[in-house]
Homo-oligomer: A and B are copies of this chain.
Amino acid sequence: VAVVVGVVGAGQLARMMAQAAIPLGVRLRVLARDEHESAAQVAPEVVVGSPDDLDALRRLAEGVDVVTFDHELVEPDFVRALEAEGVVVRPGAEVIATVVDKRRQREALARLHAPQPLHEPLDSFAQLEGFAAAHGWPVVLKAARGGYDGRGVWVAEDAVAAQLVWDGAVESGVALLVEEHVPIDVEVAVVVARRPGGQTVVYPAVQTVQVEGMLHELVFPPPVAGPIGERAEELARSIAHGIGAVGVLAVELFVSGDRLLVNELAARPHNSGHASIEGNVASQFENHLRAVLDWPLGDTAPAAPAFALVNVVGPADGSDPAVRLPSALSVPGLHPHLYGKAAKPGRKLGHVTAVGDDVAGLLARVRRGAALLHGEGEDWA
């Protein structure tokens, strides 16, 4: 009888879990909105339904060894209901409730004395103005959950800009928090995998480069002094313990001068860990499955001295990068990952990775691969 893992959601994270599940002999069942979703195309079992529907969650959970997540967009109360019915859910409702809401993330980080930007949950626009008066413009505004107009983070340069964000959030019923605008030297991310009993493995810190709030590139090793990477890794480990994470926890951090500040948490595999498929001995997807199944965790050591990754997003002309895959495959050593998602301008559709000795050369290679997928430039000579 095969071990079965149920996944709430069927995006690219669940798709890459499906890939990792095959060699482990683990059977993956995904909860998909429809059969065309990224992971629904490749998972051995698909339950069609919404994560907002407790009955759909129950159908997903029936007979599985453990339920886990592709995304946090699930009601913590539904997770509690499943747990009350005897379903093993990892991470559990308390962790989900903490990470699903950015205000709760900040509260949890504060309790753990984790360094983070100055911040306040907002009850009024006057409070926002008071925060800016105390700490200066610009400020960062974040939706506590989700967002509106397709965004969840805004940088407001002044009170006029802030008022626009505030009004839009009020209109959309979205709660905001305000944060100081930290001058960022480098962004780094650390992925951790933790078992229920506490065994934890930590991936070496990587540098992430964001464009318009979305991960664009990733390199290892990060261009920061060794101690900063080690501090980030220790911090991520202690946060995982502190919030009782089970499975993968991703911690995104800002390096600002000597300061290392936690930006955000995700209690699931994360874009900043995608290069682990080729770049580390055991990938974040394999370790997520091993962790939620309470199996011994895999080696997080780098598989090579360096690696680089670029995300593939839908080009402005609406064309599908997948049709240009053969062209991109002419780039030596390129590892393409296509998510099988319908192409839309700006939508995350895949990523490319390269692994080797020299970060600069690898970065040139993955940029070339992504450019070819995006329909820019000629074949690699």
* A binding-site residues for B, Cβ under 8 Å: 2, 15-16, 18-19, 22-25, 27, 41-42, 44, 277, 281-282, 290, 293, 295-299, 301, 303-304, 322, 325-326, 329-330, 332-333, 335-340, 350, 355
Contacts and interface: CB of A to CB of B under 8 A. Distances in A.
Copy number in the complex reads: 2
Given A42-B44, A299-B332, A355-B303, A23 B326 contact: no
B23 A42 contact: no
Most interface-central of A25, A281, A333, A335 (chain B CB within 10 A): A25
A59 B266 CA distance: 44
A329 B333 CA distance: 29
Contacts of A298: 329, 333
A41 B27 contact: yes
A338 B295 contact: no
A343 B330 CA distance: 41
Contacts of A25: 322, 325, 336, 338-340, 350
Contact of A23 (B22, B338, B355): B338
B24 A42 contact: no
B22 A15 contact: yes
Contacts of A322: 2, 25
Contacts of A27: 41
A233 B238 CA distance: 50
Most interface-central of A281, A336, A339 (chain B CB within 10 A): A281
Contacts of A326: 293, 295-296
B325 A295 contact: yes
A330 B296 contact: yes
Nearest to A21: B42
Contacts of A304: 303-304
Given A290-B329, A303-B303, A303-B304, A24 B295 contact: no
8 contacts: A19-B22, A19-B23, A23-B335, A25-B338, A295-B325, A296-B330, A297-B329, A303-B355
Nearest to A20: B19
A41 B44 contact: yes
A336 B297 CA distance: 13
Nearest to A340: B25
Contacts of A355: 281, 303
A286 B359 CA distance: 25
Contacts of A337: 23
